Amino acid sequence: MTEGAPARWFDVADDGGQDVPFGPTLILGCGPLPVENQRMNFAPGFRTWQFAKALADDGIAVRLVVMRIPGAYDNELASFERFEHDNIAVVSVTEDLFRRQGALEAAVDELRPRSVIAVSSATPASRAIEIAGDRPLWIDLFGDLMAEAQSRMTVHTASDLLAHSAVLLSALERGDAFSAVSDRQALATLGQLGLVGRLNRWTAAYTMVNTVPCCVFEEPRRGPEIGGSPEEFGEDDVIALWGGGFNTWCDADTFVDGMELAMKEDGSLRVAVTGGPIQGHDDSTYSSFLERVAGSRFSGRFVVKGQLQTREADAYLRRADLAVVTEKRFVERTLGSSGRVLRWLGAGIPVVCTELSELGSVLAHENLASMYRPGDPVDLARAVLELTSSRDASRSRAARARDYARRHWNHMETTTPLRRWARDPSRAPDAHEHNPLSLSDAAVVSLKLREVEEELQRFRDAYHRTRSELGSIHQSRMWKIWMSYQRLRRTLGLAAAGDRDDCGRGP
């Protein structure tokens, strides 16, 4: 048994209530899940729960293993935790245990799953490829990996291209079915599959890539009577919410500039921010945002809460009069989606966003949100002020957007192709055929290089944390007193040495 792994992964029956002579579906994903009350609910956790809940609600036996995203948990948890929610057996583990060779392999030996589904990020995909064996494997490409690497290069000097390409190549060659968050990304994925030889005569009539949009879950009911209103705001304040992490594609400058212009025109406007850096992925965008707010003449009207536990963040969600997200013109935005926008829609909050994503273009076409031109703070201020000056009209449109989102983007509607596949999973038609364009050898080498890069990054992170802690110590009062004492000692010591030398000299 692998060190740190449990004797048994799941303490539930293997059939999970499914009336078929097969093992359950094993899902590998990320946490925290939206049903957990933790510091930060990132998009991968919502995506993981979307897949698991949809399959379980469809009567399919599910076992879910969740890798905890570093920095997203408040509580000190053991390396391995079990819980059950909505009849879904969940195992939550540290990133180290999730990656450890032999750990998830033991879970497969125990469960004998019928199929494996990897959801939401590169690490679940990599591990699913390693443990699936000859089982059918569905890989969820939650955003285009190469577009995400390109986006991250704008805030990090180190390139992620090699690591991301290694994971993508391995996924494209091994996956039996794939999902993307938009039709645009699905088409991009088909092109990538062609480059690795998967568009061949065996797969000509086979659907390899399916669009599974982000979904809307039932959100907390709104109104100050539900759990109270945050104490920072008065009854007459108009609250614009930024909720969610500050990712590489988030345009913090346009957000601050636009909200300042809107605040100048509307004295009742306040901004609530419930979100922070994405540890290990993008720490600089949030830092830049904090600097801009600190230097703003309206800094007192920005209420920056940072990362909050789910229940605390929900209080600000309930109080919000509108919600804003600003996006840069990145390829990642063109191919991707926005889980936070869907969450706001599901809660009935008026939304301000761009048309960059496929989701944004639908919202613009259906007149379900207020749109602004990317990178244009004047146009952002215009969109915000239109909502604040026409409160009844904006609430009416938000209610229509909520109904539209819950009808078209609920967790069951969005996962139709996934649920169909999971009921009768199978290997792709070319699974056992020779692929002359196979790049598996190169992918293996790249994966090893990725492991080395990740180890180096951990050393860099530890170095920067130590430097930061030393900087805090050097700014402390106790350190300054200690250094003054040491300087005094040196001064007195030199004076005493001089006196001794003088005493030893003759007249």
Give me the architecture of the 238-409 domain, per CATH: 3-Layer(aba) Sandwich (3.40)
Predicted pLDDT at 7 = 74
CA distances from 477 to 410, 448, 466, 482 (A): 55, 46, 19, 9
pLDDT of residue 224: 45
Round to whole Å and give the CA distance between 413 and 419. 10
Q: How far apart are CA 351 and CA 214, in angstroms?
A: 17
Per-residue pLDDT, 4: 61
Q: How far is 370 from 267, CA to CA, in rounded Å?
A: 21
User: Contact 15/61 with Cβ under 8 angstroms?
Assistant: yes
Asked if residue 354 lies in contact with residue 373, where contact means CB atoms within 8 angstroms, the answer is yes
Tens digits of pLDDT across the chain (507 residues): 555 667 789 876 544 444 444 689 999 999 999 998 877 778 899 999 999 999 999 999 999 999 998 877 876 788 899 999 998 999 999 999 999 999 999 999 999 999 999 998 789 999 999 999 999 999 999 999 999 989 988 887 666 677 788 889 999 999 999 999 999 999 999 999 999 999 999 999 999 999 999 999 876 554 444 445 688 898 899 999 999 889 999 999 999 999 999 999 999 999 999 988 877 777 789 999 999 999 999 999 999 998 888 888 889 999 999 999 999 999 999 999 999 999 999 999 999 999 999 999 999 999 999 999 999 999 999 999 999 999 999 999 999 999 999 999 999 999 999 999 999 999 999 999 998 888 765 455 555 556 666 666 666 666 556 655 665 675 667 766 876 777 777 777 655 655 555 555 544
Q: Is the dihedral of CA 13, 19, 22, 28 positive or negative?
A: negative
Model pTM score: 0.82
User: Domain ranges in the chain?
Assistant: 25-214+415-459, 238-409
What pLDDT does 443 receive? 52
Find where tokens 């955003």 sit.
Answer: 143
Strand partners, 269: 238
Cα 99 from Cα 67, distance rounded (Å) = 9
Q: Around 75, how many Cα atoms within 13 Å sit in the side-chain half-sphere?
A: 12
Encoded tokens for 211: 């669009």
Other CB atoms closer than 10 Å to residue 429's CB: what's the count? Answer: 16
Looking at residue 252, what is its pLDDT?
95
* Residue 309 confidence (pLDDT): 80
CA distances from 127 to 98, 100, 123, 146, 162 (A): 8, 9, 6, 19, 18
- Same topology, domains 25-214+415-459 and 238-409? Answer is yes
pLDDT of residue 228: 53
- At the second CATH level, the architecture of 25-214+415-459 is 3-Layer(aba) Sandwich (3.40)
